[in-house]
Amino acid sequence: MLGAVSLLGLVIFVLKMILNWSSVSRFFQRFFHQQAKLDVSSTVKDLLTRLSELSDPRDVYSFMVNYATETLGVLGCSLLLCDEKGAWYIKTQHNLKPLQFNLDDIRNFVSLISKRKNLLTKKELMTDDDWRACRCEALRYFVQLSCEACLPLYSQKKVIALLNFDSPLSGEFTAEWYELMQVIAVQFSQSLQNTFLYEKLARQNQALKQANILKNQLLSNVSHELRTPLNAIIGLSEMMIDGADGEMTEEQIAHLSLIRQSGIRLSDTLNALFNLSKLESHQLTLDIHRLDLHQIVSEVMPTLSLRKGIDLSIHLNPNTPGVYGDQEKIAQVFKHLLDNAMKFTKRGSVSVDAAKIGEMLRISVKDTGVGIPPEKRKKIFDGFVQGDGSETREFAGLGLGLTITKKIVELHGGRLWVSSKANRGSEFSFTLPLKPVGVRHPELSA
């Protein structure tokens, strides 16, 4: 009988232990926490190390509440942030589940807690007369968020977050705990500020990408819509010059020639815009074959705007090593560079040379023209940039030729660069592969 009573008592004790497991767990957590001595210097070192190991700055939110719970020895933690409209919201929490969240009727408390840099505990709230005016609001805040303490985090005298803590494992907020919390709060504030900046830059970068997509769509649509009527203008003017509509006077032929030349110039500009939009959106495809550069340049020569007083010499021949590339695009590269050399050379010479360098062929287009000032050399490969960008500049054009040329060369796996001296001339050099390579997008691989 006595043994049965003892067994029954043991069963009842075990049941009580099971039903109160959370209390038992909390007891052991507090016991072991009291055995561990909080070390400020080692904790800060550990915090900085772990912050530096975060692969994504946006992971700092969950890291903060987890680390605070673990290191400060509290049962849970939650983080509140303020949006662009000034409304507070729960960003994340760890082991702390708010009962509800509505700060509409406790804005005075949030305003007051935001003005102080120190932690506010529920115990201090009930005993400090400074909080008497909004004590009820503050209690609603603590009850809503199921917390025992609230800490505002600052950056440049402006509150950027509210960190809420559940009760400490030690049973009370000790002086040692306050010291460690203040040190950690400084690091948390800095990390949050860095994350906010990262997110702002990410949003701006996304907006720029979207704007670039819209720009490319606009360029493509405009060039497509204008090329059809331009082709008609150019074609009809050529027919009239050839006498398709009857005999023309010399003055009429001169006027029609001017219309034709202006139409061709505008058509070339639209083609440049169209090609640029395709290059920047990575929609340009290459048809790679082994190329004869001598033949390509020979076919480009009749399309050049040759000027009197310029000696053009092409040092390419059938023995020049062949390269791999898209014939149409490489012809476009030569046309851009030779037209550019002719445009900026009033007298003197323009030459084309080639030399093998490892597994690449270096091609150089050299002129004795006006040259490029040092401060302009880094910008001439940017779109819509010329050496002289003023409205009164001598040479017309949008400044897209070198931009397109550079992108085409890079798609082939080569590179384009320039050396120049003001009033002494320029030398544009580019490389092309002697062996077949895949299409490359430098912007995507950077």
Contacts of 317-322 with CB under 8 Å at 24 or more apart are 318/292, 318/294, 320/293, 320/294, 320/354, 320/361, 321/354, 321/356, 321/361, 321/434, 322/290, 322/291, 322/292, 322/293, 322/434
Tokens of 323: 């390269």
Q: What pLDDT is attached to residue 8?
A: 52
3-state DSSP assignment of residue 414: coil
Count of other CB atoms within 10 angstroms of residue 134: 20
Count of other CB atoms within 10 angstroms of residue 360: 19
Whether 273 and 401 share a structural domain = no
Predicted confidence pLDDT, tens digits, the chain (446 residues): 445 545 555 544 444 444 444 444 444 344 334 434 456 778 778 888 888 888 888 889 999 999 988 888 899 999 999 887 878 889 999 998 888 777 776 777 877 887 777 888 898 888 888 888 888 888 888 988 889 999 988 887 788 899 999 988 877 888 888 888 888 888 888 888 888 888 888 888 888 888 877 877 777 777 777 778 888 888 888 889 888 888 888 898 889 889 988 888 788 777 777 777 777 666 677 889 899 999 999 998 887 877 777 888 998 887 888 899 999 899 989 998 998 898 888 888 999 999 999 899 999 999 998 888 887 877 787 765 444 444 334 334 456 788 888 988 998 999 999 999 888 899 999 999 998 776 555 544 43
Query: Which pTM value belongs to this model?
Result: 0.51
Q: Which of 283, 308, 341 is the last residue of a domain?
A: 283
Q: What pLDDT is attached to residue 338?
A: 92
Q: Give CA–CA dist 99/67, Å, rounded.
A: 23
Whether 232 and 254 share a structural domain = yes
Q: What pLDDT is attached to residue 428?
A: 94
Tokens of 253: 């032929």
DSSP conformation class of 168:
B
Q: What pLDDT is attached to residue 79?
A: 93
Whether 277 and 299 share a structural domain = no
Q: Give CA–CA dist 345/308, Å, rounded.
A: 10
Q: The domain containing residue 350 runs over which residues?
A: 288-388+397-445
Whether 361 and 275 share a structural domain = no
DSSP conformation class of 74:
B
Whether 65 and 213 share a structural domain = yes
Q: What pLDDT is attached to residue 105?
A: 67
Read off the CATH number of the domain in which 293 is found.
3.30.565.10
Tokens of 204: 């701006």
Whether 230 and 294 share a structural domain = no
What is the per-residue pLDDT across 395-430, written as a single tens digit (0 to 9) for each?
Answer: 344 567 888 889 889 989 999 999 998 888 999 999
Whether 195 and 122 share a structural domain = yes
Q: What pLDDT is attached to residue 378?
A: 75
Q: What pLDDT is attached to residue 365?
A: 94
Whether 222 and 327 share a structural domain = no
3-state DSSP assignment of residue 368: coil
What is the per-residue pLDDT across 162-185, written as a single tens digit (0 to 9) for each?
Answer: 999 998 887 788 888 888 888 888
Whether 183 and 123 share a structural domain = yes
Cβ 196 vs Cβ 99: under 8 Å: no
Helices 60-71, 175-241: inter-axial angle, 10-degree rounding: 170
Q: What pLDDT is attached to residue 7?
A: 56
CA distances from 119 to 22, 97, 338 (A): 27, 20, 72
Amino acid at 285: T
Q: Which of 255, 283, 311 is the last residue of a domain?
A: 283
Q: How many domains are contained in the chain?
A: 2
Whether 308 and 239 share a structural domain = no
Q: Which of 283, 317, 348 is the last residue of a domain?
A: 283
Beta-carbon contacts of 410 under 8 Å, excluding residues fewer than 6 positions away, are 416, 440, 442
